[in-house]
Structure 1
């Protein structure tokens, strides 16, 4: 059988790094190709690197047909699930694959809703195979579970996918910068992202630091403004009522003290003179 290499399928998953490719080549030369290549008809689905290396060195290999594929979407979903389960796939790659899976699953759901009710009992000519794990991925929590990531990581990967310049994406794929740094840089204009990437990974890290510091400064200023505004707000009705009550209590205490003073002086019924203010003559007569 002539095996057909579909370039779209070959590029659907990120290629191996040069080091990973060399390690795979050494393994195949030492141990042979132990895992069968997966085919859909005559189209190669899984094993593009092994196929290329085996042809290069004339190594024998086995093939196996996956008879459950009924559409290219089935192939994509299977490829995604295979790579999501591999430990060698980076966090960023797993997040991207989970986002691709969400798009496929959502597209299938929309097509199913749009199908005419009268045709519900008849299977379409290219009905999707009932592949496992095609659960809803609408929430970030579901995406995080599918990709074995944290929800915060999924948020960062979405931002990178949507806003990052290709050079920044390449940097996070290669491990030059972290997910959080790439997501921070992705908030800059594309021209600034490209310039930072051209200057190297250290400049990318510095750019991410500047973005984070710029976000923290307005947050501190807002907090200070909120504190000032609170201090400037006049007391509410409950506070005013409490203050009036305290004034009445103090007035009653003062009246009681005046009575006690008059009693001690032997002048019942007379009002006591006001107490001397600080700095007045303490010996002044009543």
Structure 2
């Protein structure tokens, strides 16, 4: 059988890091391919990395058919649950996968409301083949109607899921890459994502310390904007949680703060450079 590689499926899950790929290759060379590759007809569903390594080194491998898939969405749900069962993926990856699962299930129910009770293959039909990580395949998908349900599926807190949603909606690609690589935490990335895209990119260009500094400054400014306790009784404006003034004011203030801090940092760097030149000239004069 000629195995077919679907590029959309291959790219659906974040690729292994260079170290993870090297470790898998070393394991396959030493022990062979012990876990079967999962196919849907001719299409490879699970085992893309193992398949590539086995083909490269001429290592024998087995395949197993999953005949329970009825559509590409079934395949995607199976892949998501399979990877959510892994221990090695990051919290950000868990949140992204759980949110993808929620979107697929919502779309399926919206397309066919009468099918809401059976949005995925039943537990008895779930495939048992392991993934690249060697972990058992996850069982069937269940509807994720609330953020709490998404958080439970991802083994994260609802607050973290909310931050990941914000990153997905508002973060520039450079900021997303930074949080995926671990350069910046999820909470810090969510704070930086409140900035315009150009300012996000500028913060990423400053590296890990620059991102952390920007996130810290934004949090401090947000804390300053909180309405003092008792303000409501004096006619102050509070939101439903007694937390922040209107969002537009919050964002405007944060953006003004960042611009002011960047200008201040630039001026300080200029002064330091001038002092260094002056000091060098003074030393040259004495000589």
Q: With structure 2 as the length reference, what TM-score do the two structures score?
A: 0.72
1:44 paired residue number: 44
For structure 2, list consecutive stretches of 5 or more residues without a partner in the other structure: 127-138, 236-287
Q: Secondary structure at the match of 2:38?
A: strand
- Structure 2 distance, partners of 1:60, 1:7, is 23
Q: Secondary structure at the match of 1:223?
A: coil
Q: Deviations over 1:149-203 (max 9, x none)?
A: 1111101111111111111111111111111111111111110000111221111
- Structure 2 distance, partners of 1:101, 1:43, is 21
Q: Secondary structure at the match of 2:45?
A: strand
1:144 paired residue number: 151
- Structure 1 distance, partners of 2:65, 2:106, is 27
1:223 paired residue number: 228
2:11 paired residue number: 11
| Larger relative contact order (CA 8 Å, sep ≥ 6) | 2
Query: Larger deviation: 8-17 or 201-210?
Result: 201-210
- Structure 1 distance, partners of 2:88, 2:162, is 22
Query: Larger deviation: 92-101 or 130-139?
Result: 130-139
2:273 paired residue number: none
The question of whether the paired residues in 2 share the 8 Å contact of 1:95 and 1:157 is answered with: yes
The question of whether the paired residues in 1 share the 8 Å contact of 2:33 and 2:61 is answered with: yes
Q: Deviations over 1:62-94 (max 9, x none)?
A: 100001011101100000000000001111001
**CA shift at 1:44, angstroms?**
0.4
The question of whether the paired residues in 2 share the 8 Å contact of 1:70 and 1:128 is answered with: no
The question of whether the paired residues in 1 share the 8 Å contact of 2:175 and 2:204 is answered with: yes
**CA shift at 1:140, angstroms?**
0.9
The question of whether the paired residues in 2 share the 8 Å contact of 1:96 and 1:157 is answered with: yes
Any runs of at least 4 consecutive aligned residues in structure 1 with deviations exceeding 4 A, and if so which? none
**CA shift at 1:206, angstroms?**
0.9
- Structure 1 distance, partners of 2:45, 2:151, is 26
- Structure 1 distance, partners of 2:177, 2:78, is 25
- Structure 2 distance, partners of 1:156, 1:228, is 31
The question of whether the paired residues in 2 share the 8 Å contact of 1:165 and 1:190 is answered with: yes
- Structure 1 distance, partners of 2:169, 2:187, is 15
- Structure 1 distance, partners of 2:195, 2:146, is 26
Q: CA RMSD in A?
A: 2.0
1:96 paired residue number: 96
Q: 1:227 to 1:139 in 2, by over 3 A?
A: closer
**Bigger-Rg structure (1/2):** 1
2:73 paired residue number: 73
**CA shift at 1:229, angstroms?**
3.4
Aligned residues: 217
Q: 1:82 to 1:128 in 2, by over 3 A?
A: closer
2:61 paired residue number: 61
2:111 paired residue number: 111
- Structure 1 distance, partners of 2:183, 2:120, is 39
**CA shift at 1:218, angstroms?**
1.1
2:181 paired residue number: 174
The question of whether the paired residues in 1 share the 8 Å contact of 2:81 and 2:141 is answered with: no
